[in-house]
Each structure stands twice: as structure tokens, then as C-alpha cells.
Homo-oligomer: A and B are copies of this chain.
Amino acid sequence: MGQLRTTRAVIETPTFMPVGSLGPVKGLEPEELQQLGFYLMLNNAYHLYLRPGHKVVAELGGLHAFTGWRGAILTDSGGFQLFSLAKLCEVTDDGVTFQSHIDGSTHFITPETAIEIQEALGADIIMTFDECLPLPASQDAIETSVRRTKLWAERCQASRRRRDQALFGIVQGGLNRDWRVTAARDMVALGLDGYAVGGLSVGESKADMHSMLDVTVPELPEGKPRYLMGVGFPEDLIEGVSRGIDLFDCVIPSRHGRTGSLFTSNGRVVIKQAQYSHDERPIDSNCGCPVCKRYSRAYLHHLFGVKEMLGARLNTIHNLWYFCDFMRRMRMAISRDAFAQFRTEFYRAQGQDISEGRTLPVCNTSVTEGTRQDV
């Protein structure tokens, strides 16, 4: 267990960041996120650059003033969205030319503009610009991406002006263990404020993800935050933490909430199923969230069936509570030196037995007990 300190919030790690692509986590007010227990969230620089534009946000006092969120914010540099959402993406060492997925307009983003955008948005933690490869990737593509991501990180570091924002680097390297190690060492050599593992959770197997973490995380300094980008499901969070990851972000709790897939201590409740139409129980009788306190599965089933936005909102609140509480319990287990037991019990409650280590690889890095990270 550790702490990540920003001027706006002290965040106990390991922690999970909810995602507000365009400002808010869809449907939720900032105060609600804080009441759920979140003090750090992620905003997407790519989305905010396109709408309403980073200059508009800057004129209106930056993201915190614009959205009303009082906790800390991390903005990603836009790399992932560029390669997954934008059309006609052309990459050179100079930067990325792409067409907006909204209106087809052409844009050119360099490492310098990625920093300029993030400085204008005014997050507490910003990310270097990286080239995120789709999988499978050729060895040549991986080599180019690792070299370019290093070059871009250097240019990001050189061009930044604000010193009140932490700058994290991103480790790429596809599914190649050697390139992951090289990429990690490249980033660490820059002496950044934190390090992220990027390019995972893009379609690879769980075993591949774990394998890449196994070689990458040990290269990253223990005293700096280690962030696994775009991950994931509860089991991914456990496996990430067991390999030394401190930070996660993912749209899963909110997106799954909107589509009615609800996380519980015993697995998933798919609320649209007819079996819930008369079910007076809460989503999860072990859950202390405001939704489980007030509403039945039958009501949530009805709201989902009639496409009522309150349903999307309540389901999102429940899922975010689950994720926040899950991380809290993980931190408690770490502090009690009972993480292995926590992990075993989690899988058992989900109907999986990992007592003989058959289902999942055995952890081979220690959890980040005692790490303290000031950014």
C-alpha cells in the first residue's frame, strides 16, 4: 500500500481511476464521485481537444473549474484514442496526422502539442505522447514504436512549461518481452514522475498481459507510481496489484453499468434478464452502495427495459462503488499482509479455485506495500 500525493488530493494506492472522457463520468456529478470515494479521475485529452477544445477549457479556468471536480485529474495524452478512434491516422516521427471521428476534420498532433493541450487542460498528472500499436504487431513495428515513444517522451519532457503537473511516461513494446524491458528502461532513464504500462488490454490474452507485466514492472522504480492503462476487470486489478501496479483506469464500471452488467461479490448480474423482473433483492446483498440500499433488482430491470437514463446512472453508481470498495479492500488486505488470501477468496467467490495455481499464473512480484509516491 502506498500514497500518491498531489496538491488537490492524497490518494491511497493501489487505486482505480474512473474515466470521464468528455469531462464527467457519464451521468454523474463530481460530488457523487467523491461521495463514492474517488479522489483521482481520468479525462481524455483527445476528446476534450476536439470538444470543447483545450483553449476553451483553459479560458474557463481549466478542467477543475470547468467540470467542478475538486479531486485530482490525470489526462492521457491522446495516443490511445488517436490509434483506436481517429480516422486516417498517419504517423511519422514528427507526430500524428488524423481525422476527427466527430466531423472528419484534419488535425496534426506532435509531442509538443500533446503537452500544450494537457497544460491548457490543467490536469494534476499528464502523460507523454506515445505510439500505441494494435496487436498483433510485427517486430519492426514494435521496434519503431518503442524508439518513437522514447523520442516523443524526450520531446514532451523538453517542451513542458508547467512544473505544477506531474509527467508520467508510457512503456510500449507490444507483446515482446525484450522490447518491453528496453522501453521501460528508456522511460526510467528520463527520470519522470511516474510510469505507465501502455498497449495492453487491446485484445491480448490474460496470460500475455500478465507476462508483459511480469517483465515490465520490475524495471520501474518502486518509489514512483506504476500505472496500468485502460485496465480492467476486477480480476485484472488483482493481478495487476499482485505484480506491483499502483494505478488503473478503465471505462468498464461505467460502460458496463450503462449496458446493465453489474459487478457483485458473487459475479455478474445482467439486469435485463427476465429472472430479475420480480426480484425484490438489491443487486448485491453484501454491497453498501446507495443503489443497493434503496432499489430492487426488479426496479433496475424495469428501468433498463424502458431505457430510462436513471437506470444507466444507478447502475454506474453501483459499479463504481464496487470498484472503489474492491480497491479499498485490496489495500486493507495488503496492509494486513493478507493479499494472497484476499486473492484466493475473490476467485473462490467468483466460482474459481486457484488454490493450486492452475487457473492463473503465480504472482512473482510483491505488492507495493509501503511504497510512498509524491508527484
Contact = CB atoms under 8 A, between A and B. Distances in A.
Given A29-B310, A51-B305, A277-B52, A298 B24 contact: no
B306 A22 contact: yes
A303 B68 contact: no
A296 interface: yes
Contacts of A52: 277, 298, 301-302, 305
Nearest to A317: B29
A308 B26 CA distance: 6
Nearest to A314: B29
Chain A interface size range: 35 or more
Specify how many copies of this chain sit in the oligomer: 2
Interface of A is mostly: loop
Contacts of A309: 26-27, 309, 312-313
A295 interface: yes
A180 to B, nearest CB: 36
Give 5 closest A-B pairs by Cβ, nearest first: A27-B309, A52-B302, A24-B310, A22-B306, A309-B309
Interface string A26-40: 111100000000000
A49 to B, nearest CB: 13
Contacts of A68: 294-295, 299
A67 interface: yes
